[in-house]
Structure 1
């Protein structure tokens, strides 16, 4: 599979689907992740499997079954042959799996509620989890016991910054994002972003207040902080001040997937059908940090926003481009090494720039 290496801004509007991989009926993908090398793609699916794809070959590589424990939030460690994923059955543990021989290396137990966020540190073998048990836990993949724990009110999301020196905890019901110094995580947060007034501002567009947050992410350039939602827009904040830079509006509205706090029929109900599947979020930054790509909500295809556009008085930013497709995009990822996009809902798509559009 040929992979372009041009600058992102030169080819981003030219991406088109080049590979499509069908899944069995009545299944949906709930998480997506590239390994550090950009050679492999990993996805969780609602049939309690984890799917591995070889990006260079443009082919499906392996299916890993987890029928006993279920699977969600599958992530590569810093070794492309080993992964972490959250259980959705039996317990609320994290499993560390070697894909080479399909054996478990270690279990991480302690959470007493469904894990809603799993983030691998960009600079070490540490990882971060958030759970419906109202805790955030810090782990080292070399030890089965948590290295640290913090108690919160509904800390459904957590992520590291690109330097791996800071982590953020998001609590939709309290409208807050808390920033912690990793070396002093047991001390109070050094910054708090309050989004209550921001959320109220966009409620007339159909944006939920205190609900609907599906993922959080720092941009690689350190400028921005993205809160993805399952509503008609995403919040792009200044990573230092927490002020709203843009409200990334999508006119098609809701994504059709549940956010962690939206579950109403018990912890397992959110995994059952396409309309009631909790996913990691359908928006992400490009590696240069300038653009955000996202699923189109109820429409098919992928939307693109330019974060560097001058903010308007209402801070509403419309997409600069829409990448057409016959398939919806419930989870989206941009390859960290190559100009390749992957998206999935009921099927997996790999996108490459079309040279004829250049």
Structure 2
């Protein structure tokens, strides 16, 4: 598989499905890449957690979690351990989060505290801290080595959380399109900055920082996507996609921070150049509405998932395709949100 080099429009436009896994029973709820190893983990409605070798497009291991289910998932720093949130029995067990070893299918630790489903989960890139945002209107900060919560932020609305790539700052989105930035070493002092996505009061369902820390990517529940300046909060560009009432979509930066790729409510996938503010490609994914989508940290590839998991890689023979639409059957073009 091609390693990540400087991406350009032609390479992005040439992306096509290189591998497909369709043995899931139900929707894939979330997925995550390991930061340094060629590994991908998925959590699905069929209560499965699956580990993949992305360099060889190979399923390595499947574990089932019938008691708790598998909802949000992220890697820890160790390549065979993950944090997974629960879908079942939250009322009776209170075990909203588990620290799992994929190596021997053991639960290393339970984390109790959230009263409702966890909808956002992320691991610090620099230490054993991680954060979870729940429909109980709280963000909790944890340490892998300790059962008890290390800090709680109470807020309004559906919380969404993300660390920047240096682990020094984290962002929390809340009701009314407000994005609050905290110093991860002194979050108890409150946010040091607050941004508002002007005119859009839809809840933010996903936040990502670019690798260089200069940009933030927001996806809202009404399928609008915004790229903000991470220092001042100014909107660099925005895109409006087809609605998907029962499914939230996910967008992703490319590792160089120059492109955004996203699903859409009509089942298509889209890629845009941030600097040029134009659409580079539109693909018919043929897998339904993509609810999970992430670009690999060190590879020229991204993965997209609905009830099917697809690996997308460059296809040299397609690099001269029409930039407006790389599939003649693809749906309508996305709408650009004016600045």
Shared fold by TM > 0.5? yes
Counterpart-to-counterpart distance in 2, 1:224 and 1:331: 20
Question: Does the C-alpha gap of structure 1 residues 113 and 325 become closer, same or farther in structure 2, counting only changes over 3 Å?
Answer: closer
Structure 1: 5+ residue stretches without partners: 200-208, 260-280, 310-316
Superposition pairs for residues 237-252 of structure 1, below 5 Å?
Answer: 237-250=228-241
Deviations 1:117-137 (A, max 9, x none): 111111111101111222211
Deviations 1:193-230 (A, max 9, x none): 123x331xxxxxxxxx333x220111112221111124
Secondary structure of the corresponding residue to residue 189 of structure 1: coil
Question: Does the C-alpha gap of structure 1 residues 191 and 5 become closer, same or farther in structure 2, counting only changes over 3 Å?
Answer: closer
Counterpart-to-counterpart distance in 2, 1:133 and 1:47: 24
The answer to whether the 8 Å contact 1:119/1:128 transfers is yes
Counterpart-to-counterpart distance in 2, 1:232 and 1:134: 22
Deviations 1:65-121 (A, max 9, x none): 111011111111111100001011112521000001000111111112211111111
The answer to whether the 8 Å contact 1:96/1:106 transfers is yes
Superposition pairs for residues 195-210 of structure 1, below 5 Å?
Answer: 195=197, 197-199=198-200, 209-210=201-202
Deviations 1:316-336 (A, max 9, x none): x55221234322322111111
Alignment-derived partner of residue 304 in structure 1: 271
Going by fraction, where is strand more abundant, 1 or 2? Answer: 2
* 1:225 matched to 2:186: no
Alignment-derived partner of residue 153 in structure 1: 156
Superposition pairs for residues 1-358 of structure 1, below 5 Å?
Answer: 2-9=1-8, 11-25=11-25, 27-91=26-90, 92=94, 93-171=96-174, 173-195=175-197, 197-199=198-200, 209-211=201-203, 213-250=204-241, 253-259=242-248, 281-300=249-268, 302-309=269-276, 317-328=277-288, 329-358=290-319
Q: TM-score, normalised by structure 1?
A: 0.83
Counterpart-to-counterpart distance in 2, 1:34 and 1:143: 24
The answer to whether the 8 Å contact 2:223/2:264 transfers is no
Question: Does the C-alpha gap of structure 1 residues 353 and 14 become closer, same or farther in structure 2, counting only changes over 3 Å?
Answer: same
Question: Does the C-alpha gap of structure 1 residues 296 and 82 become closer, same or farther in structure 2, counting only changes over 3 Å?
Answer: same
The answer to whether the 8 Å contact 2:32/2:73 transfers is yes
Counterpart-to-counterpart distance in 1, 2:264 and 2:199: 22
Question: Does the C-alpha gap of structure 1 residues 324 and 7 become closer, same or farther in structure 2, counting only changes over 3 Å?
Answer: farther
Deviation at 1:24, TM superposition (A): 4.3
The answer to whether the 8 Å contact 2:202/2:221 transfers is no
The answer to whether the 8 Å contact 1:4/1:352 transfers is no
- Superposition RMSD in Å: 1.8
Deviations 1:151-199 (A, max 9, x none): 111252011111111111111x33211111111111121101123x331
Deviations 1:139-158 (A, max 9, x none): 11011111111211125201
